[in-house]
Structure 1
């Protein structure tokens, strides 16, 4: 094993593709299609989607970090059949620009305002804007407890209160913490400003993103705390929602069918894919708690304390053509062997390649698969400068050594992310490469 600098001759693989129901994307296990739900559906309908995944694909289902449901293993022949049958279900599917709201929008007593009307207005006004980047996204957040603050957005509108008036802070690029403040406006003005920004981005070409308009703007001075989706949520209408999810965002359709069948038996009314690879099930408190226990016994993530929820792992090899490592195998062992390191202060990123699809933003520690080794990267994206390289076979042993270093060096009250940053890449490299 040796310390490593990235080879500048390596290809620049960009995250520009966006799989759609009508335009699936080729991966290592066939075509992948996204079913972009904009509202909750009945558990029976989710089970029907799972049956379509087994009929037309390889039966594998993804729930993305942004809460998109994806069906894998399709063929050129089966993909159009899947689209036709999904559309025949008359589900609430997104058409056009992704204008996202928190999954409990309108149902959270703590939110400043229901963001859905503003999101609908922006979506309607942007319908005729052509030439935007495929992954262009707008987030409209009512500032409740379960927010989308950790997701990257080109344009973000966050509700704020000033002198008993509700205003909208407009941020460009990045997460809520890293975005740049464009303006703070009343609702009507915020809609006009957002549409104008989208038109400006369209005029700059399909590669233009919100960050390209953020130069010189001030940093955001406040980011509200948010909670994990993996807990029981009390809603404003007296009902509850429970957050459950497949480990690392992927499971076989049969497992989801079993979960949906149990939800139906418990008279749970609705389910919605949500952030952090979660599914929110809506029902009574008793039904939600019973479903959580069932999910926990069947291998799903059900708690914010589950170490698997603190790992961002893409599909990896062999399901992805770009992936060079078995990301889920590495992540599963890491969750079991390095639970103390995974304290929730950061997301351990296990990436099959430098595109970093599972975690597009920087994190405290990343393992990135390369053609003939695994790169170790600190405080950067998967495409960042590595501090060391290791052999494939040494990946989990190396991670155990890094976890042990953090365990021995962590100061009182210090979390893993802060400890990793303080230790720094040079000492991390020494621990990764013993002797």
Structure 2
């Protein structure tokens, strides 16, 4: 049997057929575009036990990751997963909210546009491995906080806002488009990205379009609609660039809740602590779901699993999950920590991130109020939380760096020894508790306190 290529490149995707080497073996990603049954999820868990070490991650974007594979077992997992005829993603990552098409509060169903973009992009080669398009129709669960190279946000059933790079809040406003123009415009942008060197991403496209801009921005949408044409000749993206970054506020809610859907259905969000679970525990959860008559489940953002059924069945499954160590509530402090796999699972990590995170959740719950994600990372790559965080703990070769209002690789305001990490975090939590003003959340308080006072607290200085 031919050995699979070991994908060690930073920024690459550990796909099902191209697993990536980690500290506990190869890691393969299973990306689903539709819900599957609890029984099918159980079968995936059994394959994880058979071919890997039994550990399964649910990524921040809602992908399943099977850990502990070998060069021999990884191709076998690939073959057996594909033999299940699951709704696997093939090609470009085009993501929609997990409740799309079932959520009566969404502005527009994003699935038809997403599928059209997915199909039209199949012939495009040379895109960056993690290239992502988000099509967000609004509703109860948004993808506002996920990074995207190209983002479409519904303004009405016929109007879509197109953003480049970042989250919905930080992305660059490109244009507002009629629905009939969306697919062609996105494909032209993807082709331009593919033509740029060094695996360009959405943020790189902004500079390229500005440099090559030859005409003023396109007319406002209302003017475009008055032309009376349902279709337009191919759009030149360089003539459509907007005027600057948008500051729209995302409306992302936590998936760890109970959601009423159309046709009397409900969805309940459940997740393993810090996004990682033993297959045996997931099998027990799926067995209980099947016993309750639940027919479908879907991995979702923020390391969650959504189960779909009646309200009674969803509530019963939530109770079972809570009693067995899963995250089931938006107020659970474990859900407010972004922790990578850490040591020893990752070769790059120098700290046991999950141990630190578990202690932090137990001892610093008032700091973890949901206003920010505490980032606990084993190395400066910061895979678990690529956006800036109000507070981050980053493992280095000989100590832990502490970063405020930044990414893991940014300049730290203080350092801690490995052994003193949680005690240092408790000192910071105590400072926030004593300084927090009425109606002020932890993120705002951390920003107001500033790096100098945080550094003094972290080192125990008065």
- For 2:90 and 2:9, the matched residues in 1 are separated by 24
Q: Say whether the 8 Å CA contact 2:344–2:352 is kept in structure 1.
A: yes
Q: CA RMSD in A?
A: 1.1
1:244 matched to 2:236: no
Mapped partners of 1:227, 1:257: distance in 2: 27
Residue 214 of structure 1 and its aligned partner are, at CA, apart by: 2.3
Aligned residues: 420
For each residue in 1:260-299, what CA deviation from the matched residue of structure 2 results, as whole angstroms up to 9, or x when unmatched?
A: 0000000001000000000000001000000000000000
Alignment of 1:407-418 (within 5 A): 407-418=433-444
Any stretches of 5+ residues in structure 1 without a counterpart?
1-12
Mapping of residues 179-198 of structure 1, within 5 Å = 179-198=171-190
**Is the CA contact (8 Å cut-off) linking 1:63 and 1:249 kept in structure 2?**
yes
Distance 2:435 2:49 in 1: 48
Mapped contact 1:131–1:203 kept (Cα < 8 A): yes
Which residue of 316, 321, 339 maps to 1:295?
321
Shift of 1:14: 7.8
2:100 to 105, 130, 138: 105
Q: Does 1:53 align with 2:79?
A: no
Query: Higher relative CO (CA 8 A, sep ≥ 6), structure 1 or 2?
Result: 1
Aligned residue runs from structure 1 range 294-373, under 5 A? 294-373=320-399
* Superposed displacement of residue 247, structure 1: 0.2
Following superposition of structure 1 onto structure 2, how do residues 207-218 of structure 1 map, counting pairs within 5 Å? Answer: 207-215=199-207, 217-218=243-244
Q: Does 1:203 align with 2:214?
A: no
Of structures 1 and 2, the larger Rg is shown by 2
In the TM superposition, 1:2-401 aligns within 5 A as 15-161=10-156, 166-215=158-207, 217-401=243-427
**Which digits, 9 at most, give the CA deviation of each residue in 1:117-149, with x for residues without a partner?**
000011111110000000000000001120100
Q: Conserved in 1, the CA contact under 8 Å of 2:432 and 2:446? A: yes
Stretches of structure 2 that go unaligned for 5 or more consecutive residues are 1-7, 211-242
The Cα of 1:206 is off from its aligned counterpart by 4.6
Query: CA–CA distance in 2 between the matches of 1:301 and 1:324?
Result: 26
2 CA distance for matches of 1:224 and 1:32? 32
| Paired residues of 1:406 and 1:419 also in contact (CA < 8 A) | yes
The equivalent residue for 2:447 is: 421
Distance in 2, matches of 1:115 and 1:306, equals 30
TM-score when normalising by structure 2: 0.90
Alpha-carbon shift at residue 356 of structure 1 (Å): 0.4
Q: Report the 3-state secondary structure (helix = DSSP H, G, I; strand = E; otherwise coil) of the residue aligned with 1:393.
A: coil
Range with bigger deviation, 179-188 or 338-347: 179-188
Whether the 8 Å CA contact 2:169–2:250 is kept in 1: the answer is: no
1:380-419 per-position Cα deviation (integer Å, ceiling 9, x unaligned): 0111111111100000000000000000000011000000
* In 1, Cα distance between equivalents of 2:377 and 2:252: 25
Q: TM-score, normalised by structure 1?
A: 0.95
Cα distance between partner residues in 2 of 1:331 and 1:241: 28
> 2 CA distance for matches of 1:206 and 1:46?
37
Residues 21-63 of structure 1, C-alpha deviations (whole Å, 9 max, x = no match):
0000000000000011111000000000000000000000000
Matches of 1:224 and 1:204 in 2, distance apart? 30
Q: Secondary structure at the match of 1:80?
A: helix
Alignment partners' CA distance in 2, 1:432 and 1:14? 35
Question: Could you tell me whether the CA contact under 8 Å between 1:50 and 1:253 is conserved in 2?
Answer: yes
- Partners of 1:82 and 1:246 lie apart in 2 by 22
Aligned partners of 1:318, 1:226: CA distance in 2, in Å?
33
Instruction: Give the equivalent residue in structure 1 for 2:233.
Output: none
Distance 1:52 1:68 in 2: 16
Q: Which 4+ residue blocks in structure 1 deviate beyond 3 angstroms? A: none
Secondary structure at the aligned position of 1:392 is classed as: coil
Q: Contact 1:134/1:206 (CA < 8 Å) preserved in 2?
A: no
State the partner residue of 2:216: none
Q: Give how far 1:166 is off.
A: 2.4
Structure 1 SS opposite 2:167: coil
Q: Please say if residues 427 and 460 of structure 2, whose CA atoms lie closer than 8 Å, have aligned partners that are also in contact.
A: no
Structure 1 distance, partners of 2:9, 2:122, is 26
CA–CA distance in structure 1, aligned partners of residues 151 and 110 of structure 2: 12
